[in-house]
Amino acid sequence: MEVYAYKCRKCCHVHYPYKMICHGCGENKHDAFDLVPMTKDGKLLTFTIVHNLPPDFEVPTLAIGIVELDDGMRIMGQLKVQEPELGMKLKGKVEVVRHGDYTDYHGMVFYAA
């Protein structure tokens, strides 16, 4: 499993999450983007420890953060870190982050680097 960014074939602008029309050059056609795997490592931009999780999460609390990746892209992810701190270095892996009714959802999980 992989988490992808969307790179415009015409102007090379990279988007995350996906878009239908390019935000760089306005390219408006089917298949305008190449899928490129997201960079996995970065630093923690902000985070929270959530105590009021949606009912399908079977844990009391969960750390969620926004990570600035080494290439400047940003992504949200779950944090498996003892004591999260702003600016700390993280290593990301793609794992199951939520169990749906019919499918499991994969996304980014970050560990202390």
CA separation, residue 35 to residues 49, 52, 56 (Å): 31, 34, 30
Stretch of 6-14, 24-32, 69-77 contacting another protein, by CB under 8 A:
69-77
Residue 97 region by backbone torsions, left for phi larger than 0, else alpha for psi between -120 and 50, else beta: alpha
Stretch of 17-25, 63-71, 80-88, 103-111 contacting Zn ion, by CB under 5 A:
17-25
Q: Is 81 in the site for another protein (CB under 8 A)?
A: no
* Residue selected from 36, 37, 46, 70 as contacting another protein according to rule CB under 8 A: 46
| Whole-angstrom distance, CA of residue 48 vs CA of residue 105 | 21
* Residue selected from 86, 89, 91, 93 as contacting another protein according to rule CB under 8 A: 86
* The Cα angle at residue 54 between residues 96 and 62, in degrees rounded to 5: 60
* Residue selected from 54, 60, 83, 102 as contacting another protein according to rule CB under 8 A: 54
| Whole-angstrom distance, CA of residue 66 vs CA of residue 41 | 12
Q: Which residues bind Zn ion (CB under 5 A)?
A: 8, 10-11, 13, 22, 24-25, 27
